[in-house]
């Protein structure tokens, strides 16, 4: 069950690992998307909050 890798796809470079045709390519795209979203969430959670500058009169 699931899509079969067709031998006719000859990808080179990064497309060999990230494409929407082979099952491993699709899996890697999904994992990369999840990793990007997770890292964005972590970045905004861990970003230090700016404190208002105290000005001396």
Partner 1 sequence: MTLSLFDQFSSPSFLGIPMILMALALPWLLIPTPTSRWLSNRVVSLQGWFIARFTNQLFLPLNVGGHKWAPLLASLMMFLLTLNMLGLMPYIFTPTTQLSLNLGLAVPLWLATVLIGMRNQPTHALGHFLPEGTPTALIPILIIMQTISLFIRPLALGVRLTANLTAGHLLIHLISSAVFVLMPMMPVVAILTAVLLLLLTMLEVAVAMIQAYVFILLLSLYLQENV
Return the residue of 11, 36, 38, 41 that touches partner 1, per CB under 8 A.
Answer: 36
Among 11, 30, 35, 39, binds partner 1 (CB under 8 A): 30
Q: In the bound complex, what is the minimum distance in angstroms from residue 50's beta carbon to partner 1?
A: 29
What's the CA gap between 20 and 29, in Å, rounded? 8
Neighbouring C-alpha atoms within 13 Å toward the C-beta of 57: 0
Which residues contribute to the site for partner 1 (CB under 8 A)? Answer: 1-3, 20-21, 23-24, 26-27, 29-31, 33-34, 36-37
């Amino acid at each position: 069950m699931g899509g079969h890798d067709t031998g006719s796809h000859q990808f080179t470079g990064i497309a060999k690992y990230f494409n929407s045709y082979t099952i491993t390519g699709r899996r890697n795209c999904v994992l990369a998307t999840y990793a990007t979203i997770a890292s964005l969430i972590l970045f905004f959670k861990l970003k230090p909050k700016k404190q208002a500058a105290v000005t001396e009169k």
